[in-house]
Amino acid sequence: MKSYKTAIYNQNGTTHLIHHKTAIVKHNHTEKTIELDSGGWQSKTTKDRMNAYFNENNLEQFGVFQKDYAWWVLTPNNNHKNPIPYRDGIVLKVGE
Q: What DSSP line would sit under 4-46, residue for residue?
A: TTEEEEEETTEEEEEETTEEEEEEETTTTEEEE--TT---HHH
Q: Kindly report, residue by residue over 70-96, the tens digit of the pLDDT.
A: 999 999 988 778 999 999 999 999 985
- For residue 3, the model assigns a pLDDT of 72
Domain boundaries, the chain: 6-93
- For residue 96, the model assigns a pLDDT of 59
Q: How far is CA 43 from the centre of its chain?
A: 13
pLDDT at 1 over 70: no
Q: Kindly report, residue by residue over 4-58, the tens digit of the pLDDT.
A: 789 999 999 999 999 999 999 999 999 999 999 999 989 999 999 999 999 999 9
